[in-house]
Amino acid sequence: MATVVRIGCAGWSLPRDSWPQFPDTGPHLQRYAQRFNAVEINSSFYRPHQPATYERWAAAVPAGFRFSVKLPKTITHEKRLQGCAPLLHSFLAQARGLGDRLGCLLLQLPPSLALDTRVACGFLQTLRKQHTGPIALEPRHASWFEPPADALLRSFEVARVLADPVMFEAGAWPGGWPGLVYLRLHGSPRMYYSAYSQALLDRLAARLVLEAAAADKVWCIFDNTASGAATENALYTCRAVQEPGT
């Protein structure tokens, strides 16, 4: 595959049952990064981190490792994408502490936030003036899964996340800008808890290989972390992607 498939978890906490599959010394992030090539930082959604914290995280991982950083809820849920230029500036100034380990920004919108073209364009214009790298958007209102929303996201080179469980028919496929494919697997049927079967993960791995043949960047993040299932699911998917058909 010409495109690197990035597989990891939402956070780098390692369940005790999975410890034997990781190096036995060092902080969790350092150990995690020896088996995975990506991670999603979700804590940034709830609170800011100092640039020095991001710098420390970047220094703990190999050169090829990348972080996806979730935008704060003050921007997406409280301000609802309006009048948040100063908040964006502060967040990006912090996240840039990752340097070249910053792989993607993730925006998760509240289910109540419908597409308002004027608001979305204004926000994405502001964001794109400050950040030119990959951006993935996880909307949860039906209006974001219509052709006008896809066209808008493509114009700003923003990918629409394929999230599981799928809430709308069009959500079964990635949308927006096709240069980035970003999957978020929250666990099904019980979100954040349920583990995925090996049969499903085999199909997922085959799909990731196909996506990597067409997209410039492919991410697959497991967010079923509440039960510790994410780590094992991600490890299995890594093996399946590296060894298709086994």
State pTM to two decimals.
0.96
Assess whether pLDDT exceeds 90 at residue 2.
Answer: no
Q: Where are the alpha helices (DSSP H) in the chain?
A: 28-32, 51-59, 73, 85-95, 117-130, 147-155, 198-212, 229-242
Q: How far apart are the first and last CA of the chain?
A: 17
- Least Cα distance to 101 among 162, 56, 47, 42 occurs for 56
- What is the pLDDT, as a whole number, of residue 8? 98
Cα–Cα distance between 238 and 37 in angstroms, integer?
A: 10
Instruction: List Cβ neighbours of 242 (8 Å cut-off, separation of 6 or more).
Output: none
How confident is the model over 94-129, as pLDDT tens digits?
Answer: 999 999 999 999 999 999 999 999 999 999 999 999
Q: Which CATH superfamily is domain 5-242 in?
A: Protein of unknown function UPF0759 (3.20.20.410)
pLDDT at 246: 39
Percent of the chain that is helix, strand, coil (3-state, to 5): 45, 20, 40
What mean pLDDT is predicted for residues 61-77?
98
Two tokens, residue 221: 């993040």
pLDDT of residue 243: 60
Per-residue pLDDT at 245: 47
The mean pLDDT value for 196-224 works out to: 96
Report the pLDDT averaged over residues 134-157. Answer: 98
What's the rounded Cα separation, in Å, for the pair 103 and 153? 19
Domain boundaries, the chain: 5-242
CB atoms < 10 A from the CB of 157, how many? Answer: 17
- Within 10 angstroms of residue 11's Cβ, the number of other Cβ atoms is 19
* pLDDT of the residue at 244: 53
Place of tokens 């100034």: 93
Average pLDDT over the chain, rounded to whole? 96
* C-beta of residue 130 within 8 angstroms of C-beta of residue 89: yes
- Find out whether 135 and 152 touch, Cβ atoms under 8 Å: no
Q: Which residues contact 57 (CB under 8 A, 6 or more apart)?
A: 29, 41, 67, 98, 101
In the chain, pLDDT over 90 holds for what percent of residues?
Answer: 96
